[in-house]
């Protein structure tokens, strides 16, 4: 299982939210590149970047931050937030992202999303399912869709995508542990899917449990920034995986 640190960006700064609430923003570092380099130094290979300005209905705003990290590290970056057009996709790939994480667009305009898959390749997209009580929410978790999580997964698998990250909104930023029963249900229902867990990861033991149940990756944010999981523990996990 791969540990994928989250770097959430607002106004070019590294931040974290709680349950997606922009009023509960904590700035952890003014220099996301410094943060990215600290991850690279301990053996991290991948980074999950989110343009929270874009996710909050604004146009893409933090592509320069992506470009800066891509140019100055060897990290494999998936980037999301505010991607609405094919031109946005091109801009993000040109800035150095290896993959694009898509959430709202895949739900609101599946035809456009599937066009992007056809044009750029399914392997370059990492759909995100942000869920509350197994129903998808979008646009920074502000808008309910009523769409069932498992119907959503069936739809993307049918288009050749075999990886997804899933965030249980009720767990995100709460430091109370990830949504293990939900992830077990997804893995059981879709055994060929590469599932990346996201939200609620609060300690080293959570990583061990996620690995044991079969997750292929874990996106970790707040636990790292608040040193509930240390860089040394991550390094040890990487060496022992």
Supply the residues annotated as catalytic.
8, 130
Helix (H, G, I), strand (E, B) or coil at 77: strand
Cβ contact 52:202 at 8 Å: no
**d(Cα 3, Cα 65) in Å, to the nearest integer?**
21
Contact partners, residue 135, CB within 8 Å, separation at least 6: 144, 145, 146, 147, 148, 149
List Cβ neighbours of 87 (8 Å cut-off, separation of 6 or more).
none
**What is residue 81's three-state secondary structure?**
coil
């Amino acid at each position: 299982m791969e540990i994928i640190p989250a770097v959430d960006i607002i106004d070019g700064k590294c931040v974290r939210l709680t349950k997606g609430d922009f009023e509960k923003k904590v700035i952890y570092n003014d220099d996301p590149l410094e943060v990215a380099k600290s991850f690279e130094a301990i053996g991290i290979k991948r980074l999950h970047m989110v343009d929270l300005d874009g996710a909050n209905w604004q146009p893409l705003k933090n592509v320069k931050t992506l470009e800066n990290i891509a140019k100055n590290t060897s990290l494999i970056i998936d980037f999301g937030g505010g991607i609405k057009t094919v031109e946005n996709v091109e801009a993000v790939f040109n800035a150095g992202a290896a993959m694009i994480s898509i959430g709202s667009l895949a739900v609101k305009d599946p035809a456009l999303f599937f066009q992007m898959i056809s044009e750029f390749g399914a392997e370059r997209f990492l759909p995100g399912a942000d869920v509350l009580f197994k129903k998808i929410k979008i646009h920074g978790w502000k808008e309910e869709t009523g769409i069932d999580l498992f119907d959503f997964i069936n739809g993307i698998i049918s288009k050749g995508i075999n990886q997804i990250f899933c965030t249980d909104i009720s767990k995100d930023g709460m430091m109370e542990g990830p949504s293990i029963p939900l992830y077990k249900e997804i893995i059981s229902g879709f055994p060929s899917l590469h599932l990346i867990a996201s939200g609620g990861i609060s300690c080293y033991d959570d990583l061990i449990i996620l690995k044991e149940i079969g997750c292929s990756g874990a996106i970790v944010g707040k636990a790292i920034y608040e040193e509930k999981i240390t860089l040394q523990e991550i390094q040890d996990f990487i060496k022992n995986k």
